[in-house]
C-alpha cells in the first residue's frame, strides 16, 4: 500500500465514522499505527499488469530520450 493509499483509506474511515458513529471505525482511527499494516490493497490481476506495462513503456521512452 502506498502512502497515498494509506491517506485515502484513513479519509474513508474518518468519513464512515462521521456518518455512522461506528465504534469499530473509532477504534481503528485511535489505533491507526497498529491497524494500518493489517490493511492490504486488492487489485485485479489484469489492472496490475496494465499498470506495469505502462510503467515499462514510460521507462523505455525515458531511456530513448537520453534519460530526460
pLDDT tens digits for range 11-60:
999 999 999 999 999 999 999 999 999 999 998 999 889 989 999 999 98
The C-alpha atoms of residue 48 and residue 21 are separated, in whole angstroms, by 35
Contacts of 26 (CB under 8 A, 6+ apart): 17
Residue 67 has pLDDT above 80, yes or no: no
CA atoms within 13 A on the CB side of 68: 4
Q: Cite the beta strand spans of 1-68 per DSSP E.
A: none
Cβ atoms 28, 9 nearer than 8 A: no
Cβ atoms 29, 10 nearer than 8 A: yes
Amino acid at each position: 500500500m502506498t502512502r497515498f493509499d494509506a491517506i485515502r483509506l484513513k479519509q474513508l474511515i474518518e468519513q464512515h465514522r462521521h456518518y455512522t458513529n461506528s465504534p469499530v471505525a473509532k477504534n481503528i482511527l485511535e489505533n491507526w499505527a497498529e491497524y494500518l499494516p493489517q490493511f492490504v490493497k486488492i487489485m485485479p490481476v489484469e489492472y496490475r499488469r496494465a499498470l506495469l506495462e505502462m510503467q515499462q513503456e514510460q521507462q523505455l521512452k525515458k531511456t530513448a530520450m537520453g534519460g530526460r
